[in-house]
């Protein structure tokens, strides 16, 4: 089917989240009102329980969904691989800006327009990220510095002194409505200027996690800017799409692909020696945290088996497992 040239395209990757996506589909469609040309691409990553058919049935039920294209990935390609499929189609259709939205997130009516207007008015910016809130309206982490050894140490240790030395930034509640220039923003809801990345998008070597950080580091090195735009508000039901919670007590062990992506990010962008150094810094910070928990008799909020996983997957695996570090 031929479609007219579009100005804004939205990409949503679905894997076993159709119920949440469909519950808020009308809100997502409504947030595109006012754009002369727009399109939504939903990529189903071989979801179980025949979710592709469920999505297909819903999209065929109403004319308001005629600008939505459902894509069957044919296999679980991961977040990066699935986004790349839709991004290629969006670029071919002439999209000037692409909005990436998690399937467990939905925008306020003007959120997409706000990001679009910001990028139109800020030619040096390639990325505009939205403010993320949970269903109760509480702010969630959504913009950050690029990770380094110091930041890994500070993030794990959770001591104010180390935080100050690392100059760690994690904007969870914007102090004003003014946009903030940052290193990278959450991949749950951000808009990209297509001219900044006209042919390639995300590295498919990442299955899940760190793919947006890698993308924004590449753009940063090319001279582009990333901005947090708090006036654009997105409700993010964290953990539904990935099963991993970042803003509450953690108990479930992190999946192996999280550590694979972590290693790939450092090997690819900084080299193997630095990857080992960062792994040691991360582990040292974790030892500080564990000691603090014992001394203060507090509950350990790290994922199950995290200390052993960090030692084996962030240090030892740098020497033994090259499957995710090859570029």
Q: Tell me the domain boundaries of the chain.
A: 8-139+174-236, 256-320
For tokens 């395209």, the residue is 9
> What does the pLDDT read at residue 167?
65
Angle between helices 211-221 and 78-92 (to 10 degrees): 50
Pick 8-139+174-236's CATH classification: 3.40.50.720, 3.30.70.1450, 3.90.550.10, 3.20.20.70. 3.90.550.10
Residue 74: which region, alpha, beta or left (left: phi > 0; alpha: psi -120 to 50)? left
Percentages of the chain per state (helix, strand, coil), in multiples of 5: 40, 20, 40
> What does the pLDDT read at residue 251?
73
> What does the pLDDT read at residue 160?
84
> What does the pLDDT read at residue 172?
43
Mean pLDDT by 10 residues, the chain (327 residues): 77 97 97 93 96 97 95 97 97 96 97 98 98 92 91 90 68 64 96 94 96 98 97 86 52 92 97 97 97 93 95 96 59
| Tokens representing residue 189 in the block | 């809801």
Dist. CA 134–CA 67, nearest whole Å: 28
Strand 184-185 to strand 125-133: parallel, antiparallel, or no bridges (unpaired)?
Answer: unpaired
> What does the pLDDT read at residue 169?
55
Global pTM value: 0.92
């Amino acid at each position: 089917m031929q479609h007219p040239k579009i100005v804004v395209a939205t990409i949503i990757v679905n894997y076993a989240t159709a119920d949440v996506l469909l519950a808020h589909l009308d809100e997502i469609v409504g947030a595109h009102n006012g754009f002369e040309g727009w399109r939504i691409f939903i990529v189903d990553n071989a979801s179980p329980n025949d979710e592709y058919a469920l999505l297909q049935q819903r999209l065929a039920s109403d004319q308001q969904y005629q600008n939505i294209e459902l894509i069957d990935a044919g296999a679980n390609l991961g977040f990066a691989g699935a986004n790349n499929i839709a991004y290629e189609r969006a670029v071919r259709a002439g999209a000037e800006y692409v909005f990436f939205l998690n399937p467990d997130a939905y925008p306020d009516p003007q959120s997409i327009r706000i990001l679009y207007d910001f990028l139109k008015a800020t030619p040096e910016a390639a990325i505009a990220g939205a403010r993320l809130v949970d269903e109760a309206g509480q702010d969630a982490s959504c913009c950050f510095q690029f990770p380094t050894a110091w930041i890994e140490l500070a993030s794990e240790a959770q001591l104010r002194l180390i935080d100050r030395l690392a100059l760690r930034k994690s904007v969870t509640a914007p102090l004003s409505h003014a946009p903030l220039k940052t290193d990278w923003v959450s991949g749950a809801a951000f808009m990209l200027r297509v001219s900044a990345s006209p042919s390639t998008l995300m590295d498919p070597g990442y299955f899940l996690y760190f793919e947006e950080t890698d993308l924004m580091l590449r753009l940063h090195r090319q001279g582009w800017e990333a901005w947090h735009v708090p006036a654009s508000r997105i409700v993010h039901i964290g953990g539904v799409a990935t099963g991993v919670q970042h803003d509450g007590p953690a108990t479930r062990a992190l999946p192996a692909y999280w550590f694979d992506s972590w290693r790939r990010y450092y090997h690819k962008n900084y080299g193997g020696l630095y990857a080992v150094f960062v792994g040691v810094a991360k582990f040292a910070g974790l030892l500080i945290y564990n000691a603090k928990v014992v001394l203060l008799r507090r509950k350990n909020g790290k994922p199950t088996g995290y200390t052993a996983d960090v030692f084996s997957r962030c240090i030892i695996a740098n020497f033994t497992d090259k499957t995710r570090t090859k570029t």
